[in-house]
Amino acid sequence: MSIVVVGSLAFDSIATPSGRVNDVLGGATTYFALAASYFTQVRIVGVVGEDFTAEHEGILKKRGVDTRGIEHSKGKTFRWGGQYLDNLNEAKTDFTELNVFESFQPHIPAEYKDSEFLFLANIHPILQAQVAREMNGVRLTGGDTMNYWINSTPKELVETLKLVNVLLINDTEAKMIARESNLPRAAQKVLAMGPKALVIKHGEYGATIFFREGAFGVGRHPFRAPALPIEEVQDPTGAGDSFAGGFMGYIASQEDLNREVLKRALFYGGVMGSFAVERFGTERLQSLNREEIDARFQIFRELTHLE
């Protein structure tokens, strides 16, 4: 089965206590695609500029990612610069140059239309809704958003949430959307807005998935997966997008779509996030294999499971 991901491709310049890199291929879609590529066929929809070379595209193609939906525009690719010198848990943005991404209009190639899964990375909720409607035959639509859209386009976001089956956001975003400071109550409010399941990412503490009553199975008990305590975090950039890639990629690799699959997917999300931060940019995500991934899945299991 295959998954279409729509969102940003970027060149990132990143400084952390472990070092610095300039203009490395990044963006939510890149992290997502590489992470998901170990589980399923991934098809990208995005836009890049003239500075995006065959070498950059090769990073994706080498992982079998379908790049036919990448639009090549005149101008420069989206660029982001940030640093984590004071706090590895929070990026401080040095600069954002939207460039060709500013006028991004997602076009889904006809060849992508048979994909059974869709992920709407963090872009304008109106664009997310357009894509979701265009791909409305999919088995499952996942989505992300951020504080910027929650604050500036709340009405549009509410419309988009009706089209998203599984929303993946962090604690702060969930509390902002729900206007509720208690996390499980915030989760119930977000679920009432449309999604059947809500994944709340807690950074170094893992993630919780909340289910709408009756969705994907019985009851509304949540489920928690850990994050790995990592002594050497080189670069946290893309951890959340890699999480989403592992989560959605694993789901797309399974025949069934039930709570047990979503719970395992939550573990695989954590696994891919834990790999992503071990090296700068997407370096670690480029050269994994399924044995390493499943070995780490076992470590996550041992981290949380009693005998």
Pick from 221, 289, 290, 291 the residue near a copy of itself by CB under 8 A. Answer: 221
Element at 160 (helix H, strand E): helix 154-161
Q: Which residue has the tokens 């595209």?
A: 57
Candidates 53-61, 135-143, 219-227, 249-257; binding stretch for a copy of itself (CB under 8 A) = 219-227
Least Å distance, CB 254 to a copy of itself, is 13
| CA Rg value for the chain | 18
d(CA 124, CA 241): 16
Q: What are the CA-CA distances from residue 235 to residues 18, 150, 184, 198, 220 (Å)?
A: 8, 26, 30, 26, 35
Least Å distance, CB 108 to a copy of itself, is 34
3-class state of residue 42 by DSSP: strand
Q: What are the CA-CA distances from residue 58 to residues 71, 196, 246, 258 (Å)?
A: 15, 36, 21, 35
Examine residue 169 and tell whether it contacts a copy of itself (CB under 8 A).
no
Distant-in-sequence, close-in-space partners of 298: CB < 8 Å, separation ≥ 6: none
Examine residue 305 and tell whether it contacts a copy of itself (CB under 8 A).
yes
Examine residue 217 and tell whether it contacts a copy of itself (CB under 8 A).
no
Least Å distance, CB 279 to a copy of itself, is 16
Examine residue 293 and tell whether it contacts a copy of itself (CB under 8 A).
no
**Stretch 179-208: interaction string toward a copy of itself, x if CB under 8 A:** --xxxxx-xx-------------x-xxx-x
d(CA 98, CA 104): 10
Examine residue 233 and tell whether it contacts a copy of itself (CB under 8 A).
yes
Least Å distance, CB 135 to a copy of itself, is 30
Least Å distance, CB 122 to a copy of itself, is 24
Report the residue number, 108 or 186, with the smaller CB distance to a copy of itself: 186
**In degrees, to the nearest 5, what angle opens at C-alpha 97 toward C-alphas 95 and 98?**
140
- Interface residue list for a copy of itself (CB under 8 A): 87-88, 181-185, 187-188, 202, 204-206, 208, 210, 221-226, 229-231, 233, 260, 263-264, 267, 299, 301-307
